Structure 1
């Protein structure tokens, strides 16, 4: 080697010397079980699901187009007869009913997606990765809440175009929007539990039956007094009727406190009763694929 070559400085050596003058910042390892990790990973899972749903045309149809068209159909077919019979514009019950139906219908799409992720092994892969174990479930519930909120705003916007109004002020309007979100969370926890213990075809059939019964036997479809006397108490106190009555009171006017408390009790009750089975079922699905 010549003296000239010996005195030359290698470019890589220069980079190493310069890097030594600027050390990298210290990296603090974050525990997989930390609350901050849980919150961050839940948000990531929520974003993943929302992007997946946004790119799926069938999800858009089920969560936005179907409830909006159903609202227009009910308005055209039953709007005037119900308004004439009750003296209360039917739009206030129909908008409330369709936001709740949209929450339940969208939960079916979410449940099918859960079954697909389980069958393809995606849940199992997440379970073996450095991801908080609870983030998958909480991220899914959070995504459901966001979906229901967006759907509710869309349905209400369509309702405003055809006559729906917030007649009790902005705070009542915010409370009205919050009712379907809370209802949707409770229903999503129930559906998640069912999705972990039933097969795909059975799941869709079971949820479809429940949705149909709740849709046609609630106070948003027709007033409670229009049902047979022996059925009126059941219709009045079923979860959709309580939410519809509370939302009608918060928009058009009328009793609010009692139906609102009943609606909250139903939603919280669903969460409390089915939270543990949902957690156990989700863990079983992730660990074993069953």
Structure 2
């Protein structure tokens, strides 16, 4: 059930910068026609202009179903179909859990998790009707491993996205629709623009995964979609951590502070 990206049509949310922009470029290099969407319409137009092939830009707020419907209709009107949907938008609330207010939790959940739910409601009927296509959900290694207590709303939503993606794969793959869960570790992007800070920041604690550039993540993703791979890690070392966690959760948690001491900010 591999995906031929040549002449496919991809919708990418949050594609105005970072991983979304890199993915749009990687898809376009393989002959994909891309619908570039972003909350910042100017950034979306700039990326669409960079792609050098059939591409179109649209503003999109993933907290609004009507925006996603407009993007779907634009893709169908311009290209006649949708083959790939990449749900890539994410924001963070950072600080001690006791200092992060409820409205910050609600905002992160609304964007990171319910944004994907809305996308599914809008795009999955198309993919299921045609019996082919692919869904990419951008989660995080913080959605696989328990180190993100300094950004707990983000961590909770990314864990939810991993579970959602796993269950979707079981449901969609027999119906001809592939699912990929992208779990980046450190990636050099401008995500700091999407961070709200609360309380006194704690020094980071967790595996010291290498930081990679967004372009290499885009290439990893395009290859992974072409090969119908489910889990994509930007840091292969995360697989070792995941195996240790799965082997004995209690032992992993008890040893975590000694395995991964706090690092200076």
Q: Same fold (TM over 0.5)?
A: no
TM-score (norm 2): 0.27
Q: Is the helix fraction higher in 1 or 2?
A: 1
TM-score (norm 1): 0.25
Bigger relative CO (Cα 8 Å, ≥ 6 apart)? 1
Q: Is the strand fraction higher in 1 or 2?
A: 2
